[in-house]
């Protein structure tokens, strides 16, 4: 059906839909009163609006006849929204419109997955920088601390004396200060992982959205999870992060810490794949289910830490022999599903 539409029509429809969603988003987040119980329901329904906007524009770029029409439609939306709606809503959704357009572009170019993730994540980064400029990290953490202290104070025992209450609040305040200091140091890592995760969701949803419309896109040809491997350059990124940590210099040390955490998180995926490979060859389907259930519930930190170690070792030693030209016998792995 979309193939018979004029090339300019899908971007205009997307611009109109985005404008309506932005107006509704502004009405709720901007403090406008929405009468009746429907206000809370509307607020819940609008939570996925930014993600939906990105998927919409990514789909428009993939299905459109010309990238220029999609860019022109996005520009029309931006100008009209800038004139009619609050700036904070416009900038937030503008980042998601840009992320959607970038997702459609990298899918069309068949970029490698890591390059595609970074490209989409970078288009989302400016709105994060803008939001930090509006409310600094310290101010955000102070707000969280204030809310947690209020909750604690409300839940103190009614029979506690004023001195006991003051001591409890002072101790909790010190604990929260230590947590806030650590959170401020690793804030870039948290943001980086969040952006990469959001970029992955956008790419996946755009890919799935356009296929039923008659616009099939080639995937990245992912192997079974037991054969997953992340790029080797992550090892050198971790080495660089460790080097920055060892400098013990302000700024550099925090940068190294965040770089180590980011690369460790990504390398842990490969390490968990190694564990999946081993358990698939040694345990039946029921045994694997019990193993991962117990480890995931009671030993999740151990799984992640061992995943980082195994991921690093597998990069150097190739524990699964993926790079030797000897193909893994997937039948042996799959046959364990039927062993009871």
Q: How do residues 89-138 score in pLDDT, each as one tens digit?
A: 898 899 999 999 999 999 888 888 899 999 999 999 988 888 887 788 88
Percentage with pLDDT > 90 across the chain: 37
Q: What is the C-alpha separation between 168 and 179, in angstroms, rounded?
A: 17
Phi-psi domain of 159 (left: phi exceeds 0; alpha: psi -120 through 50; beta: other): alpha
DSSP state of 232: T
Q: What is the mean pLDDT of the chain?
A: 83
Question: pLDDT-derived band of residue 244, with 50, 70 and 90 as boundaries?
Answer: very high
Cβ neighbours around 187 below 10 Å, total: 17
Query: Confidence class of residue 6 from pLDDT cuts 50, 70 and 90?
Result: low
User: What's the whole-number mean pLDDT along residues 33-59?
Assistant: 73
- 260-272 residues labelled b (16+ CB within 10 A) or e (exposed): bbbbbbbbbbbbb
Query: In whole angstroms, what is the distance from residue 272 CA to residue 266 CA?
Result: 10
Domain segments of the chain as ranges: 2-131+203-213, 225-338
Q: Which residue from 130, 60, 143 is spatially nearest to 91, judged by alpha carbons?
A: 130
Please, what is the end-to-end C-alpha distance for the chain in angstroms?
49
- How buried is 216 (Cβ within 10 angstroms: 0-12 exposed, 13-18 middle, 19+ buried)? exposed
Query: So what's the pLDDT on residue 16?
Result: 93
DSSP structure class, residue 160: -
pTM beyond 0.85 = no
pLDDT higher than 60, residue 44: yes
Whether residue 137 contacts residue 180, with contact meaning beta carbons closer than 8 Å, is answered with: no
Q: Is the pLDDT of residue 334 over 60?
A: no
Token pair in block for residue 29: 């987040």
Indicate whether 332 pLDDT > 50: no
Do 227 and 280 form a contact (C-beta atoms < 8 A)? no
Q: In Å, what is the CA distance from 164 to each residue of 57, 156, 161, 167, 289?
A: 56, 10, 5, 5, 48
**Residue 40 confidence class, pLDDT cut points 50, 70, 90:** low
Report the candidate in 99, 101, 100, 83 with the shortest Cα–Cα distance to residue 19. 83
């Amino acid at each position: 059906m979309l193939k018979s539409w004029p090339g300019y029509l899908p971007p205009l429809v997307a611009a109109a839909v985005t404008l309506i969603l932005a107006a509704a988003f502004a009405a709720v987040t901007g403090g406008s009163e929405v009468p009746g119980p429907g206000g809370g329901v509307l607020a819940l329904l609008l939570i996925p609006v930014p993600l939906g906007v990105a998927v919409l524009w990514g789909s428009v770029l993939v299905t459109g006849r010309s990238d220029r029409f999609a860019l022109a439609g996005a520009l029309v939306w931006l100008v009209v929204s800038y004139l009619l709606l609050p700036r904070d809503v416009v900038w937030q959704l503008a980042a998601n419109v840009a992320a959607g357009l970038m997702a459609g572009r990298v899918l069309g170019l068949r970029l490698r997955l890591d390059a595609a993730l970074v490209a989409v994540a970078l288009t989302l980064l400016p709105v994060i920088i803008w939001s930090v400029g509006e409310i600094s990290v310290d101010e955000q953490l102070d707000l969280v601390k204030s809310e947690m202290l209020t909750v604690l104070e409300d839940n103190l025992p009614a029979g506690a004396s004023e001195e006991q209450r003051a001591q409890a609040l002072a101790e909790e305040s010190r604990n929260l200060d230590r947590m806030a200091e650590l959170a401020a140091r690793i804030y870039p890592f948290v943001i980086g992982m969040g952006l990469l995760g959001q970029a992955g969701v956008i790419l996946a949803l755009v890919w799935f959205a356009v296929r039923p419309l008659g616009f099939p896109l080639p995937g990245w040809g992912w192997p079974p999870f037991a054969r997953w491997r992340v790029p080797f350059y992550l090892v050198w990124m971790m080495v660089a992060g460790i080097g920055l940590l060892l400098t013990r210099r302000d700024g550099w040390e925090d940068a190294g810490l965040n770089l180590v955490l980011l690369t460790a998180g990504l390398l842990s995926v490969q390490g968990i794949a190694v564990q999946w490979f081993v358990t698939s060859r040694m345990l039946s389907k029921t045994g694997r289910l019990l193993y991962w259930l117990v480890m995931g519930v009671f030993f999740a930190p151990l799984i992640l830490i061992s995943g980082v170690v195994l991921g690093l070792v597998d990069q150097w030693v190739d524990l699964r022999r993926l790079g030797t030209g000897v193909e893994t016998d997937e039948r042996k792995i799959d046959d364990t599903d039927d062993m009871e």
